Amino acid sequence: MTERAEWRDALESEPAAAEAVFGDRLDEVRRFTENLARHGEELGLIGPLELPRLWSRHIVNSGLVAPLLRPGRVGDVGSGAGLPGLVLAIARPDVHLTLIEPMERRVAWLERQVAELGLENVDVVRARAEDVRLTGALDQVTARAVSALRTLIPITAPLLRAGGELVLMKGAGVDGEIGAAEKAIRRFRLTDTEVVVLGEGLVDEVTRVFRARVSPA
Ligand SMILES: C[S@@+](CC[C@H](N)C(=O)[O-])C[C@H]1O[C@@H](n2cnc3c(N)ncnc32)[C@H](O)[C@@H]1O
């Protein structure tokens, strides 16, 4: 099977998970995935080895976070190719997503996808999280594969309003990361910290999310 056939077949794979995660937004998310599969490698957005697992490991995995979002303003730090921010914007039209990404080429890609998919609930900001002018402005902040919690918390938590929430996608080593981030957790007054495991019984690779709230007081 050619690589292209593999990712095309993958778009039809895991139908139960895809339906559960994306529901009536499945066509839109497939369109985005096709665009990423076609252009992602030449634009340096994804490695060639990722193509066959683009759907399951990256798109469905990102979409699993959608139920954790609440209507309001959500920032996605380090969106890159659009993971998870653009996928979440497609899955949750009732949520406004601000995609925060410093790299020009990635910002151009994100803006093109927003226009092509006709998404009205997304804006793209070219900036590093620590420079973006959104201090205290967001209800929730997501991130995936940006950095370890001890460095990620100091650049994401300041963007949240009091009572706002971090929703950070993490790998299997999340418990160790939490231990190493204790100081940052205290410094940024994070409460209700927990690890949420998503997709059990639905997908092969579960998604782990570090969730925490900024203390209102
Ligand atoms: C490994 S990529 C991950 C991209 C995407 N989140 C994903 O899961 O595929 C890390 C991304 O974070 C961005 N990034 C790195 N430092 C950042 C910062 N301080 N603020 C915002 N984005 C940052 C990079 O430009 C890059 O696009």
User: Which string of DSSP letters, residue by residue, matches 88-146?
Assistant: HHHH-TTSEEEEE---HHHHHHHHHHHHHTT-SSEEEE-S-TTTSS-TT-EEEEEEESS
Question: How long a stretch of residues is the chain?
Answer: 217
154 SS3 class: helix
78 is known to lie in a ligand binding site? yes
Write down the pTM of the prediction.
Answer: 0.95
Say how far apart CA 217 and CA 211 lie, in whole Å. 18
State the complex-level ipTM.
Answer: 0.99
Residue 169 gets which letter from DSSP? Answer: E
Rounded to the nearest angstrom, the distance between the alpha carbon of 211 and the centre of ligand 1 is 19
Q: Which residues does residue 73 pair with via DSSP β-bridges, in sequence order?
A: 96
Cβ of 170 below 6 Å from ligand 1: no
Query: Which phi-psi region, left, alpha or beta, contains residue 102 (left: φ > 0; alpha: ψ -120 to 50)?
Result: alpha
Closest Cα to atom 24, ligand 1: which residue? 78
Domains of the chain with CATH codes: 3-214 (3.40.50.150)
What is the pLDDT at residue 51? 85
H or E segment at 155?
A: helix 149-156
Ligand 1 atom showing the smallest separation from residue 129 Cα: 20
CA nearest neighbour of 126 among 80, 62, 59: 80
Rounded to the nearest angstrom, the distance between the alpha carbon of 145 and the centre of ligand 1 is 7
130 residue type, one letter: E
CB-based contact 126:107 (threshold 8 Å): yes
Rounded to the nearest angstrom, the distance between the alpha carbon of 132 and the centre of ligand 1 is 14
pLDDT tens, per residue, the chain with 217 residues: 455 556 666 666 677 788 889 999 999 999 999 999 999 998 999 988 888 889 988 999 999 999 999 999 999 999 999 999 999 999 999 999 999 999 999 999 999 999 999 999 999 999 999 999 999 999 999 999 999 999 999 999 999 999 999 999 999 999 999 999 999 999 999 999 999 999 998 888 899 999 999 998 7
CA nearest neighbour of 189 among 214, 166, 172: 214
Closest Cα to atom 7, ligand 1: which residue? 83
